[in-house]
Amino acid sequence: MSEKRTDYISWDEYFMGIAQLSAMRSKDPNTQVGACIVSKENKILSMGYNGFPKGCDDDVFPWNREGDLENSKYAYVTHSELNAILNYRGGSLEGTKMYVTLFPCNECAKAIIQAGIRELVYADDKYQGTPGNLASKRMLKAAGVKMTPYQKTKKTLQLYV
């Protein structure tokens, strides 16, 4: 009888690592966010990161946080969660799980609910308690979406070597 191996990462570590790696694709100089959607069978269905829509040049559109709406990133950036949902081309996302590096805003919460995603695993909740964050949690809870904080372990990936 052989000993059980323990030198591998868990599914949560794996999928959050994919979300973290996806976030590194974002050109946002302030907040890089990534998302990964997986099936009940632990198969990766889609990924996304925050950035501008197709055809909107990252070097032309503003990354500013301040200023009027037209001249700040907020009018143009598509969040990682929505990108992951829109990137999926396989049909329904009903019953899936999403891993995301930052707790979703209220707009992304709507998309998560409408897509049928049933569980959300999030690494950071830095906007906890803000009006948008409270609205997001209220909707997700009402829709029955399970919200699970990611538990870092000793095996959590070190992406910046």
Cα–Cα distance measured from residue 154 to residue 116, given in angstroms and rounded to the nearest whole number: 32
Residue 91's identity, in one-letter code, is: G
The DSSP line for 96-118 is: -EEEESSPPPHHHHHHHHHHT--
81 noted as active-site residue? yes
Q: Which residues of 55-81 are buried (b: 16+ CB within 10 A; e: fewer)?
A: eeeeeebeeeeeeeeeeebeebbbbbb
Encoded tokens for 93:
């996302």
Q: Which of 3, 41, 81, 119 is catalytic?
A: 81
Please give, one letter per residue, the 3-state secondary structure of 129-155: CCHHHHHHHHHHHHCCCEEEECCCCCC
Mind telling me the catalytic residues?
81
